[in-house]
Amino acid sequence: MEGETSPFESSEMLASFLASTPLLSESWKLCSHANAATPQIFVSKRIGEVSYVAFSGVQRVAGLDLGCRRSLVAVDTAAAGIFPALQRYGSEAEEPVMVHAGMLRLFLSMINNFQTQVFDIMKESKLVVFTGHSLGGTMASLSALWLLSHPQSTTTVLSLTFGTPLLGNVTLSRAILQERWGGNFCHVVGKHDIVPRLLLAPLSPLTPHLHSLLQSLTSPYFGLLTLELSDEGKNSLFRLVLSSVEALAKSGESIGRDSFCPFGNYVFCTNEGAICLDNVVAVVKMLHLMFATGCATSCIEDHLNYEAYVGKVSSEFLKSRGFAERELPESSYEVGVTLALHSSEIDCRGPVWEPAKDCLKTAKRMGHAPNIKSANLAKVLSKFTPLRAQIEWYKASCDVSDDRKGYYDTFKLRGPSKKDGKVDMNRRKLARFWDDLIQMLDTNQLPHDFHRRAKWVNASQFYKLLVEPLDIAEYYRTGMHREKGHYVTHGRERRYKLFDRWWGNRKVGEEENSQRNRYASLTQDSCFWARVEEARDWIEIVRSESDSRKLTLIWKNIDNFEQYARSLVQKKEVSIDVLAENSSYSLWMKELRELKSQLQQFSPQFPGFFGRGAIP
């Protein structure tokens, strides 16, 4: 039996809030006014301390191709500076945040005239609701993303859309969750409305007939679908979208990199009430299950039926309803599921009742599991603390060793000792723990704000500063730099790059900006030793290179690193092992002084080779 807990906690709380307030009805009224007020792009209205901004759904948008990757564009290139918070996302293994190119162009065309009015509205409001029907909904979502990326005040922002097409890729959906913005977006979707499903899945190349059909749907306007399609055209379109959504829903896999992806909360409306879901997989499955009960005619007409839906949701959503010819389940959890499915108008005797029930149960399980796994990970981390402590002890012993090589060089030049072998084993075990954690995060098994929790940000940073120097030592000890290239560019593990991002996005307190009065326990640049290794290579190149242009460039690199290292030392952001007499850094500085001295004796005509730094 499933646990006796609230099955759809966050999404149902939002749905209950919307149903018990005038937000839905007032938003739809203004959307209707905006659609009728074309060519006005948006209209606004203030009711008490709540301001509504509604965008017209009757707009041109170019480049609407079903499932076409060409219609997606990265926000960091197409709209640099507009969504700064979203530009942090994306890596070698993940695409950047991408949105529909035509929709983004439309938003950018109005932002200059729009932003001044919005800032004025925010000054007098506690809540600003961006709303829109169809394409107007995508403008509402982009406006909310814009304001959330530029927090200007304490004003709350809500995007409330009706029958809107999908906007962006899976990275956008993930970024919204990780920024904790999921509750700021609510999409009202009609039971059979085709528009929210239209861009859901990648499709095979279209036939000329279907391509012409789509052009007729998007010309002159995407927002209001024409009802003049032939019966054959409606049937073709319905079958096309249904097969695509069905294939994606049945796969049970995450949405692909090349696909559009839902985000935020989805309120599925019928004549009986509504269901609210916020899990992407469950949303996709419900989009299919409801759409499958429709037909070619209803999938077009339902796009214009939101006035009836809003009225029904506002009056019926919070009321208890009976279960005709169906015995009430004994479990309170099953009651909650049955109530939700009753609102969906899915026939309890039909073939999709059980799949729909499984869909809602999946949403519930996936909502609780991440927090449970996060709690269990904290326990696992505590078991790895002794491994970390052993490495700390090893570093302390290196710092006071008679050979004066320091932590990095002792490990790099180690022999077959038991102590060194133990440290190497601990290094590998810790790497597996953090790689497994990142895999869980990548596959949505952990809370979406996991990377912002202070416990894990601090733990990952300490691990990186302590262990990455050992990874660098192993990389150069085994000669990997000769096979792949230097560490920073060609050998650094993805986990360290992610931890850099986590640390960079944390909230910085005033105490972190204070001046150090002693050397750090760990060098604050975990790649410092890799930079030293590169600098040692530059010294060797200088000794053999005869091309003056290449020499000038190399000396510039040497000079830049020398200045950077001196700055770290002056600010005491290095550990004392950096300054050990026989450390790689100290030996490099000694080589550099000797080289500069030789060049000054034999090549005084090339003073530019010596850079800006004075010879120590």
Angle of CA points 432, 454, 75, to nearest 5°? 85
| Pick from 261, 494, 280, 243: nearest CA to 367 | 280
Catalytic residue of the set 11, 56, 134, 344: 134
Q: Where are the alpha helices (DSSP H) in 344-417?
A: 353-399, 406-412
Separation between Cα atoms, residue 348 and residue 596, nearest integer Å: 85
3-state secondary structure 407-438: HHHHHHCCCCCHHHHHHHHHHHHHHHHHHHHH
The residue count of the chain comes to 616
Q: In the chain, what is the straight-line distance between the N-terminal and C-terminal CA atoms, in Å?
A: 74
544 catalytic? Reply is: no
Separation between Cα atoms, residue 444 and residue 456, nearest integer Å: 16
204 catalytic? Reply is: no
Catalytic residue of the set 51, 133, 193, 278: 193
Separation between Cα atoms, residue 549 and residue 552, nearest integer Å: 5
Separation between Cα atoms, residue 59 and residue 420, nearest integer Å: 67
Work out the number of other CB atoms within 10 angstroms of the CB of residue 228. 7
Q: CA-CA distances (angstroms) from residue 598 to 394, 488, 495, 561, 604?
A: 39, 30, 43, 20, 10
Work out the number of other CB atoms within 10 angstroms of the CB of residue 113. 10
Catalytic residue of the set 100, 133, 192, 303: 303
| Pick from 316, 66, 8: nearest CA to 197 | 66
Separation between Cα atoms, residue 158 and residue 16, nearest integer Å: 15
303 catalytic? Reply is: yes
Q: Which residues are the active-site residues?
A: 134, 193, 303
